[in-house]
Amino acid sequence: MAVQVLPAALAAKIAAGEVVERPASVVKELCENALDAQAAAVAVGVEQGGLRRIVVADDGTGISGTELPLTVRRYATSKISSVEDLAAIQTLGFRGEALASIAAVSHLHVRSRTAADRAAHVLTAVGGERVAVEPAAGPVGTAVDVQHLFFNVPARLAFCKSPQAETQRIIQCVQHLALSHPAVRFTLTVNGREVFAASGSGRIEDVFIAMHGHEIAEQLIAIDEPLVHGVLVQPTVNRGNRTGISLFVNNRWVQQRALTYAITDVYAELMPEGRYPLAALNVALPWEEVDVNVHPQKSDIRLKDAGRIVRQLRSAVRSVLAQHVAVQPMRQHFQSMDSWRSASAAAVPGQSGQAVDLFRPAGAGTTTPENGAVHSAPSAPAELRVLGQLGNMYVIAEGVDGMYLIDQHSAHERVLYEAVLKRLPGAESQPLLQPQPLALSPTHVQWLETHVEELARMGFALEPFGNDAWLLRAVPVFLADKGHDWGGFVVTVIEQEDNPDYRGDPLERLRWVIACHGAVKAGDVLSHEQIMALLSALERCDLARTCPHGRPTMVRLSHAQLAREFGRT
């Protein structure tokens, strides 16, 4: 075929495909226009997964009759006017493409009226052509009615899923827009039935509850800081995937892996592997630090200093959880432990257990918490009175609100983990008598080279030994007396980089393992002083209630529960 310029109508359909991929993209663009027009209420209605009909009505500023025809012209927008404006976009839309794209692939009616207009006007278009504008009756605001979406693009229509599946995406989309603008009243009607409503109270918690159900109301943890505002949940509320985590940057819903990890990394310390929390967080950044002009659908963005933002987000989440994660009463806890077991068994068969067995020092005898933070403050927390050790596994203690059982291994793991994480004194490195060579492939050598300083700060001293060979010269002091092939171990962890199922950061994995191997074991006899030191170090931890893998460090049997057990109530 010879090179030729495509007819305008065909070019318009191709361009439309980038913006309007499926019915939910239409809903998103129309709702964003309503939000940009300062609407206080947005009513969305869809039929047949949006393929037959999508209506979005708002009470925003409206469009005057004279401007109405412009709105379906490509690159016609009222939101930016210069290239400087692109550097700091404050509206959800700015490309002037949405209405033109939607018009090109549907039967479109737009009825609108501004406060200054005496009457409304209605624009009609079919496949982007035969555009007509007529006066009509109607309130101030805009109602966009999209029918027969993709009627003239059979390829796109074939690509759409079942109406049910498309409806699910639309629900998700409207819920996220409502989360991002809690002061706006949203309703969503599917085939004539209301399936979602957000009250417009201005509280993100209310939208979150409307979305996830009333059962979670008691489990919410609010976060309200200059950088980040929103809701988190207690770790008892968790799911098998990350879809319950909703993230916004400057009130725009974004899908940004790095930001998601900032949250899941922290929760990983509180939950079994393979489980994820619910969250809705808005990150507030200066406009010029966010580039939204990356993709026509605008959910992929670039952040100027992503690394710093991720670090700040992680530490904000961590500190709010540190304040709010409570010790669970025992009975409830046993139930959640069952789900813990089945969840971790399902998620990564044998993986966490395997790591423990593989690297446990051979023939480890009785070890004691003689290192670092455990030793530095030999007084028990004022609230807990130590009663003794149970089965050389658990510490029994009394607190004002009942009896506590503390898992000595999990508790010590938590203490050591935070010591390594925060580089507390005691978490230094100790030279090996015999340096150990590491056998690494070239890609892994590269990883090692970029992380060697970070590894050194954790206590692993490594040095190059010519020809891609490296030597392990020192290990974290917690590991020093646990004779083991730490070189082989470091290699295993680095190789995890290649595993697509592997969650997160190898450095984090190393911290876990240092903590696990450095900690006292179940079966170790502890002296009273050692127990006191352990408990007081535990109390100083940020997330004292779980070990770094999310297992509990302690459970509580309350006085009320005891009274019930003994028939005293």
Strand partners, 185: 41
Q: Nearest Cα to 539, choosing from 376, 351, 300, 426?
A: 376
Q: Which is nearer to ligand ADP, 71 or 282 (CB)?
A: 71
Residues in the site for Mg ion, rule: CB under 5 A? Answer: 33, 93, 98
Q: Residue 119's CB: how many other CB atoms inside 10 A?
A: 10
Q: Which is nearer to ligand ADP, 253 or 276 (CB)?
A: 253
Q: Residue 53 CB, nearest distance to ligand ADP (Å)?
A: 17
Q: Residue 341 CB, nearest distance to Mg ion (Å)?
A: 49
Q: Which is nearer to ligand ADP, 78 or 430 (CB)?
A: 78
First CA to last CA distance, the chain: 88
452 in Cβ contact with 440 (< 8 Å) = no
Q: Identify which range of 2-10, 29-37, 425-433, 481-489 contacts ligand ADP by CB under 6 A.
A: 29-37
151 in Cβ contact with 107 (< 8 Å) = yes
C-alpha span between 31 and 144 (Å, rounded) = 10
Number of amino acids touching ligand ADP (CB under 6 A): 23
511 in Cβ contact with 458 (< 8 Å) = yes
Q: Which of 63, 262, 325, 405 binds ligand ADP (CB under 6 A)?
A: 63
Name the strand (E) or helix (H) holding 291.
strand 290-291
Per-residue DSSP letter, 546: B
Q: Of ligand ADP, Mg ion, none, which one sits near residue 58, judging by CB under 5 to 8 A according to partner kind? A: ligand ADP
Q: Per rule CB under 6 A, is residue 25 in the interface with ligand ADP?
A: no
Q: Identify which range of 32-40, 306-314, 435-443, 499-507 contacts ligand ADP by CB under 6 A.
A: 32-40
Residues between 105 and 164 that touch ligand ADP (CB under 6 A): 142
Residue nearest to ligand ADP (CB): 93
Q: Of ligand ADP, Mg ion, none, which one sits near residue 142, judging by CB under 5 to 8 A according to partner kind? A: ligand ADP
The residue assigned the tokens 């939910």 is 24
Q: Residue 171 CB, nearest distance to ligand ADP (Å)?
A: 21
Q: Strand, coil or helix: what is 245?
A: strand
The side-by-side arrangement of strands in the sheet containing 185-190 is 129-136, 120-126, 107-113, 141-147, 53-58, 41-47, 185-190, 193-198
Q: Is 298 exposed, middle or buried (0-12, 13-18, 19+ CB in 10 A)?
A: buried
What the block records as the tokens of 257 is: 């892996």
Q: Residue 452 CB, nearest distance to ligand ADP (Å)?
A: 47
Q: Per rule CB under 6 A, is residue 95 in the interface with ligand ADP?
A: yes
Q: Of Mg ion, ligand ADP, none, which one sits near residue 413, judging by CB under 5 to 8 A according to partner kind? A: none
188 in Cβ contact with 171 (< 8 Å) = yes
Q: Of Mg ion, ligand ADP, none, which one sits near residue 94, judging by CB under 5 to 8 A according to partner kind? A: ligand ADP
57 in Cβ contact with 42 (< 8 Å) = yes
What the block records as the tokens of 410 is: 């999990």
Q: Identify which range of 31-39, 117-125, 244-252, 520-528 contacts ligand ADP by CB under 6 A.
A: 31-39
Q: Which of 33, 328, 344, 410 binds ligand ADP (CB under 6 A)?
A: 33
Q: Give Cα separations from 193 to 45, 189, 190, 197, 257 (angstroms).
A: 9, 5, 5, 11, 35
Q: Residue 338's CB: how many other CB atoms inside 10 A?
A: 10
Q: Which of 17, 49, 65, 93 binds ligand ADP (CB under 6 A)?
A: 93
Q: Which is nearer to ligand ADP, 79 or 239 (CB)?
A: 79
438 in Cβ contact with 471 (< 8 Å) = yes
Q: What is the CA radius of gyration of the chain?
A: 29
Q: Of ligand ADP, Mg ion, none, which one sits near residue 34, judging by CB under 5 to 8 A according to partner kind? A: ligand ADP
Q: Assign residue 409 a region: left if phi > 0, alpha if psi is -120 to 50, beta otherwise?
A: alpha
Torsion, CA 182, CA 184, CA 188, CA 194, rounded to 10: 90
Q: Residue 97 CB, nearest distance to Mg ion (Å)?
A: 8
Q: Residue 29 CB, nearest distance to Mg ion (Å)?
A: 5
Q: Of ligand ADP, Mg ion, none, which one sits near residue 60, judging by CB under 5 to 8 A according to partner kind? A: ligand ADP
Q: Give Cα separations from 263 to 98, 224, 385 (angstroms).
A: 32, 15, 35
Q: Which is nearer to Mg ion, 60 or 235 (CB)?
A: 60
Q: Which is nearer to ligand ADP, 39 or 374 (CB)?
A: 39
Q: Identify which range of 94-102, 355-363, 405-413, 517-525 contacts ligand ADP by CB under 6 A.
A: 94-102
Q: Which of 48, 78, 147, 189 binds ligand ADP (CB under 6 A)?
A: 78
Q: Residue 102 CB, nearest distance to ligand ADP (Å)?
A: 8
Question: What number of residues does the chain have?
Answer: 569
Q: Identify which range of 26-34, 232-240, 248-256, 270-278 contacts ligand ADP by CB under 6 A.
A: 26-34
Q: Residue 5's CB: how many other CB atoms inside 10 A?
A: 6
51 in Cβ contact with 191 (< 8 Å) = no
Q: Per rule CB under 6 A, is residue 429 in the interface with ligand ADP?
A: no
Per-residue contact string for residues 42-61; x = within reach of ligand ADP by CB under 6 A:
----------------x-xx
Q: Which is nearer to ligand ADP, 93 or 518 (CB)?
A: 93
C-alpha span between 398 and 387 (Å, rounded) = 7
Q: Residue 77 CB, nearest distance to Mg ion (Å)?
A: 8
Q: Which positions touch ligand ADP (CB under 6 A)?
A: 29, 33-34, 37, 58, 60-63, 71, 76-79, 93-100, 142
